[in-house]
Amino acid sequence: QVRLVESGGGSVQAGGSLRLSCAASGYAYGSNCMGWFRLSPGNEREGVATIYTGGGSTYYADSVKGRFSISQDNARNTIILQMNSLKPEDSAMYYCAAESSPRTVFDGRCYFGFGYDSWGQGTQVTVSS
């Protein structure tokens, strides 16, 4: 059974930083797409950033490019989202997601529309102005 356990999040003032972690277990971590999505009231779920655990290639939403950074710690089967220069519009529930089946990524990108079939419980990020 795939399990994704998130940690981090919290409240911060605009311009501040937060770090989210997602520890994965229960599947063959190593050639999968994983990422972070967010959901805020009145909005649709939005892809934030993804990483291909087979090689570390990353993909970002335009809204977070240059501010957020996704990385992986393969020794701990964990992905990390470092969020800097946070804005009030970044406030949302952030969810870790994973494709439990391995895939080959030909252009180095794990697109937000891939089949992410495992989800964490979510962690709240609140940015005040």
pLDDT digit string, tens, across residues 46-70:
999 999 998 899 999 999 999 999 9
User: Is the pLDDT confidence value at 95 over 90?
Assistant: yes
pLDDT of residue 39: 98
CB neighbours of 57 closer than 8 A, spacing ≥ 6? 51, 105, 108, 109, 110
More confident residue, 2 or 118: 118
Taken as a whole, the chain contains a residue count of 129
End-to-end Cα spacing for the chain: 40
Low-confidence winner among 47-51, 93-97, 98-102, 118-122 (lowest mean pLDDT): 98-102
Token readout for 2 is 């795939």
User: Is the pLDDT confidence value at 104 over 90?
Assistant: no
CB neighbours of 59 closer than 8 A, spacing ≥ 6? 35, 49, 50, 51, 109, 110, 111, 112
